[in-house]
Amino acid sequence: MTRCPSCGTQYPDDARFCTKDGTRLISGTTPAPGYQRSTAPHTRNDMNVPVVHTTLTGKTLEGRYEIAKKIGEGGMSFVYLATDVATRERYAIKVLSAALSQDANAMARLRREASLGMRLAHPNVCHIIRLGETEDGLVYVVMPFVEGEILADRTNRLGRISLPDVASLLRDIAAGLQVAHELKIVHRDLKPENIMVCRHHDGTDYAVVMDFGLAKERKAGAELQKLTATGIILGTPEFMSPEQLRGKPLDARTDIYSLALMAYEMLTGKLPFSGRTQQEMMIARLRSDPTPLKKIRPELDFPDAVERVLAKALARDPEDRYQTALEFADAFSEAAGTRRQATPTNNESGLLGRLFGR
């Protein structure tokens, strides 16, 4: 017998697709490639009912994660809010679509993503905690539940963000990126939609870098290059660096460029390169200098030092930029006149990450 991994309907061996939702059928006993099956029960109540995307709410995944509700959905995954039955901690569970879980290349990328993500435990990074699969072949990723406001939504809501607040958020983002860069991991899709602004117990805000799903190690082999293709395919055009637009090899400095674009947009509500089409804006980044802050928002009278810091971070040649994320954030804070906070040492960062991530 074959079955539909989405709805659980069973079909004869010669059937190829589900007649209800069009999903490609799989063998009733064949798990997704590359993963060990769990022997733990995957539901708490309906032990004989397959756990699928449409029935996850209210279930207990593999006897550990109580699924409260769906909090997000994309073309390739569903995201649920869950609670650990033992610790009562809340987590975000990303469940892969049936089609994706049967794609060998996608599974190879997911294994790589999980391997990298589990090394990124840090207060300013939403990292991967574990990768699992149910008896029914449902592949899922466990991450900390990060509650807050997407940076893109905040900028759109406010129109712009104040200079001191931008400096503070920039340092948080840079701290998270620094941990990744020291592990030779490049985010390569840094954008406001991938930053969550959260709130400490004392009411102050902090930023968390989300979605390292497009991250790549700088020393990538041929197989990894095939999986990630080129930056121009995988990144977000509005926040790509010039070298990414050209499909050149990437390092940490491409994230610094994207971070500078984000800082500019937070300060002004606009991007520093203009064009009638997305293609024209991409060409402007390859050929033109960024529009000065004072030309976009003359009424705000930004310090000249802030202009100089952003201009350096947005240099077309990576060699002319700041070479580390924290170097950029430090220079920006100094130019903005905000009090510089001490950066945790590597040991302190690791301890904070373990406390935050577990």
Distances (CA, A) of 45 to 59, 82, 246, 284: 8, 16, 54, 58
The C-alpha atoms of residue 297 and residue 316 are separated, in whole angstroms, by: 23
* Catalytic residue, candidates 165, 172, 189, 255: 189
Whether 189 sits among the annotated catalytic residues: the reply is: yes
Q: What is the DSSP string of 126-176?
A: ----EEEE-TT--EEEEEE---SEEHHHHHHHHSS--HHHHHHHHHHHHHH
Length of the chain: 358
Phi, psi of 120 (to 5 degrees): -105, 25
The C-alpha atoms of residue 315 and residue 328 are separated, in whole angstroms, by: 12
Determine the 3-state secondary structure of 124 from DSSP: coil
The C-alpha atoms of residue 117 and residue 128 are separated, in whole angstroms, by: 5
Determine the 3-state secondary structure of 206 from DSSP: strand
DSSP E strands, the chain: 2-3, 10-11, 26-27, 60-61, 65-73, 77-84, 90-96, 130-133, 139-144, 149-150, 185-186, 195-199, 205-209, 216-217
At 223, list the tokens.
């197989």
Catalytic residues: 189
